[in-house]
Chains A and B, each alone.
Chain A
Amino acid sequence: MSAHTLLAESGCHLFTGCGFPAPGLNSFDFKPFLTIGGIEFTKSMLLAVICMVIVVGLFWLAFRKPKLVPGKMQLIGEIGYNFIARSIARDVIGKEGSKYVPFLTSIFFFVWIMNIMSVIPFAQFPSTSRFAYPVVLAFCVWVTYLYLTFKKNGFKGGVKNLVYIEGLPVFIRPLVILLEFIQNVITRPFTLAVRLWANMFAGHMLIVMFSAASWYLLTPSIMSAVAAGSFILAIVMTAFEVLIQFLQAYIFTLLTSIYIQGAIQEGH
């Protein structure tokens, strides 16, 4: 089904006359498992839906009937909630931050669970390494950012907040306005999406690379030692990925809160 399963099934090894089936973009494309009316459903979509169910399900278990004295699930949920509410919403946005905690929490846990799928057996694929998912999330952030900018500052103040910087010489203003516009309205959502996507893409690629290589090099020869090294590296990279998965979800949420803070603050 997935590209590297195919690699393994191919039985392609060193010294058997076939070249190394290097993982590439094809490692991120899957055959659709279901096609309805010309719409193809792939593994990444299934995983996205599963992640949705997991996030909603866990929070449902934790907060369905919250009690003053929390049970185990509620306690875990509260730790997650407080992590976002305190160390992101309150520290970055301030007092008004509590309004945006649900949005930030949804983003963080949805992204994190999707990222974690990279190292879960049988899933072993982060949906966020498909560009569409980071794009969707960055788009939601972008819409929120623009909406809050204009809602808080009015149209004129909103435009000013977006592109204008006080106290610059007149001749440089048009250039700065252009740059500010590009930075705040175009590159911000783009970099937000690309940062998450590229990290998960690269991480998955590395794990596939070392896994495929250790399989390919596994021959009755001295190269088995290299295969072992490659296998160890695959495990190390997997552990490293676990850290990156959390970090990227955190960074995505943190940047979202910084954008919100920029949108609702007075002036620029």
Chain B
Amino acid sequence: MMTFLAAEGAQNPLIPDMTELVVGILCFLIVFGFLGKKLLPNIQKTLEERHDAIEGGLERAAEAQAEANQTLEQYKAQLAEARHEAARLRQEATEQGATIIQQMREEGQRQREEIVAAGHTQIEVDRKAAAVALRQDVGKLATELAGKLVGESLEDHARQSRTIDRFLDQLEGSAANVEATR
């Protein structure tokens, strides 16, 4: 063939050989078929998976972080609520305590006033009773004294004086007796 071509002279190299065209296109299509249908999609998938594995790990970490934050928030909220509740209870207790003290004070005041009032009434009653008794006693004594004075006759001034003194002593003695019995 070479000698034949050489004898024919220069063949145009820009005219492709028919068999070579066929072989060439078959070879390329086989290469493209294997690479395009099977092998490159394979690696494309793997690269995506790898990308996903790396990015996915980061995403999962971010998720965990977010969850932790959320839990922390919840915990803080609960804590704040508990504090608030405690404060509220304390406040309530204080208020109740104050009310009770107030009530007690009022009650005490009232009782005191009652007792004082009762005391005053008692004293008044006693005073009146004493006055009545005194008046009776004084009348009786005056009558007695007058009888004695009249009976003894009025001639002896000294006797009169003694009688009066005796009477007064009696009177004091009876008063002391009353004091003592009381």
Contacts and interface: CB of A to CB of B under 8 A. Distances in A.
Interface of A: 3, 24-26, 28-32, 39-42, 44-45, 48-49, 51-52, 55-56, 59-60, 62-68, 74, 77-78, 81, 98, 101-103, 105-107, 109-110, 127, 130-133, 135-137, 139-140, 194, 201
Interface in B127-170: none
25 contacts: A25-B11, A29-B5, A30-B1, A39-B19, A40-B19, A51-B27, A52-B27, A52-B30, A52-B31, A60-B34, A62-B39, A63-B42, A64-B39, A67-B46, A68-B53, A81-B43, A103-B36, A105-B40, A106-B36, A109-B31, A109-B35, A110-B27, A135-B21, A136-B25, A140-B25
Contact of B19 (A45, A105, A127): A45
Contacts of B117: none
Nearest to A61: B39
Nearest to A136: B24
The main secondary structure of chain B at its interface with chain A is: helix
B75 interface: no
Interface residues of B, number: 37
B2 interface: yes
A37 B144 CA distance: 188
Interface in B1-32: 1-2, 5-6, 10-11, 13-17, 19-21, 23-25, 27-28, 30-32
Contacts of B46: 63, 66-68
Listed residue (B10, B28, B30) with the most chain A CB atoms within 10 angstroms of its CB: B28
Rank and list the top 5 A-B pairs by shortest CB-CB distance, nearest first: A132-B20, A132-B16, A102-B36, A66-B46, A136-B24
B23 A48 contact: yes
Nearest to A74: B43
Given A40-B1, A41-B19, A136-B24, A78 B32 contact: no
Interface of B: 1-2, 5-6, 10-11, 13-17, 19-21, 23-25, 27-28, 30-32, 34-36, 39-47, 49-50, 53
A24 B23 CA distance: 24
Contacts of B21: 132, 135-136
Nearest to A81: B43
B23 A49 contact: yes
A88 to B, nearest CB: 14
